[in-house]
Amino acid sequence: MNRQEFCQIIVDIRKQSTIKMKDICFQMGVMPTAIYRLEKGSGNFEMGNMMSYIKALQHILVIENGQQSYRTHDAQELGSILALIRKEKAMSQRALAEKTGCSHLTIANIERKTTTISIDTLLKTVAVLGYTIKIEKQ
């Protein structure tokens, strides 16, 4: 899945939802333009606002591989989930960084929760680890 496909899923969920845009904006503390930017997916945004948006839509992000699944609506928790999966696969942070095309420091910071993962890094990391992402109703 790429960024545009991910964002299209979010757009479809919002359009099918009975939740009003003003309620989503209020819950997130943002203006509608911020939501439209997320939905457009034209930039490599951090997952903080997206996770708040998913939660406002009363959905949850699921990382799964058919046998195991992890559910969250917390951007910081993504780092812990990815670290757990990486360790289960017996992969070092350096090896994961090389396969995803980012720096070792980026992976370390995401896992330590000192930085929020970007959408592109999340999608690449999940794919490299052999998992997929879904958005499900809570």
Is the same domain home to 53 and 105?
no
Is the same domain home to 128 and 66?
yes
Is the same domain home to 45 and 74?
no
Closest CA to 116 of 84, 75, 83: 75
Residue-number span of the structural domain to which 69 is assigned: 62-137
Question: What is the domain count for the chain?
Answer: 2
Q: Which of 59, 77, 105 is the last residue of a domain?
A: 59
The model's pLDDT over 18-29, given as tens digits with 9 standing for 90+, comes to: 999 899 999 999
**Where residue 34 sits, what CATH number does that domain have?**
1.10.260.40
Is the same domain home to 84 and 35?
no
The mean pLDDT value of the chain amounts to 93
Residue 96: its pLDDT value, please?
Answer: 97
